[in-house]
A = this chain, B = another copy of it.
Amino acid sequence: VDGGGLLSVPGVCGAAVATGVKPSGDLDLAIVDLGRPVTAAGVFTTNELCAAPVTVCRERLAQDPRARAVVINSGNANAMTGEQGVLDARAMLERVESHLEGPALVLSTGIIGVPLPIARVLEGIDRAAPSVCPGSGDQVAQAILTTDTCTKTAAVEVDLPGEGDDPPRTITVGGMAKGSGMIHPDMATMLAIIATDAPMAPQLARDMLVAAVDRSFHTITVDGDTSTNDAVLLLAGTGQPAGAQLEVRAGSQRARILASAITTVATDLALEIVRDGEGATRVARITVHSARTRTEARAVASAIARSSLVKTALAGADPNWGRILSAAATAGVGLDADRLCLTLGGIEVFAGGLPHRLDEPTRRSLDAAFAAPEVRIDLELGLGQDQATMYTTDLTKGYVEINSEYTT
């Protein structure tokens, strides 16, 4: 268990440069190099006006679910840039591939609707590609940021048991991410790249990634929006010799352990994003219990997590349970007031259709729980066996300031 992130995974190298696309002169282009083509899977934004790099990555992965390298530029999202944007994204890939033989992928984040300064970007690729090395994890994690206030990285080591002739092995799962709103408009987007040296087939990689994203990035909300550029990539089998036989097979114990490790890394990265949410001073962990289905649990948790009134109550450290129940009741899952039980910071406040009358010490504990940096909200629906968790930030004047005072 190491904080080294994506480049702590065996076989992963990188490089980062400043191309001048960010007016600040900060690092704004990174290349991740895996040495040779490995299994690649991606989950992309559902926004219908997805950016050119998302279109191009989807095309590439549909043709060949492998990647040797990933290029990421920040400062310009190459979104709403028409056909030229697609040509620019392809030009980035071709330039990377001219240096690092094998299929590449591309991610972008930054301002929307401004043509990509492609000459600067290509020149940056020409400088970065020859200098990829194992020790550049911090710069690579830095180069993909926009309004983020800190880099986001996570890594775990897990032991895979022996299987047949193959002895037990220790493998690594590591990743990096950026994001500071699920979208922060012109300078936003959530991006993540996770790698593991455990080799596996494309379908298994895709299944593991979809499951991990569902339990991690899909459980966080800052402002309830979805960017044109959101993307999460999984790269599997890095650092293995070309002819290596080890493969993690679907349904095996190794697959279960690996899936859990990937979910752990994805969840770590997702929580780092929500904690760095724009203007956020507090994070709430909202768990909805005893729902009929996980989908219904998620719908209720999401209604609470997205409510402006719940989020402003969090900003005010106000254990305003009426807002929480009222938001829950908009999810359309058929709540029964008499079966609900709402617990805030471990203190039951509403059950059997009625609020508890809290004595003064209990009320003080409740206030203290809501003033903590991490607030727990637990709602029992009393309808079934399923549950789901969502994380949200408070809605503060800082959020309004960041988003209203940015000028196009």
Contact = CB atoms under 8 A, between A and B. Distances in A.
Interface of A: 46-49, 79-83, 111-113, 181, 183-186, 223-228, 306-309, 312-313, 315-316, 318-323, 325-330, 332-335, 337, 350, 352-355, 394-397, 399-401, 403-408
A1 B140 CA distance: 66
Contact of A326 (B49, B81, B308, B406): B49
Given A308-B224, A309-B225, A330-B226, A322 B406 contact: no
Contacts of A327: 225
Contacts of A79: 322, 326
Contact of A354 (B82, B186, B329): B82
B48 A353 contact: no
Nearest to A84: B354
B312 A404 contact: yes
Nearest to A407: B318
Contact of A322 (B333, B397, B401, B408): B408
Contacts of A318: 404, 406-408
Most interface-central of A223, A321, A334, A403 (chain B CB within 10 A): A403
B81 A308 contact: no
A394 to B, nearest CB: 8
Contact of A47 (B112, B330, B334): B330
Given A322-B408, A329-B49, A403 B185 contact: no
Contact of A49 (B183, B325, B403, B407): B325
A321 B113 contact: yes
A83 B338 CA distance: 10
Given A326-B112, A334-B48, A397-B401, A408 B319 contact: yes
Contacts of A312: 399-400, 403-404
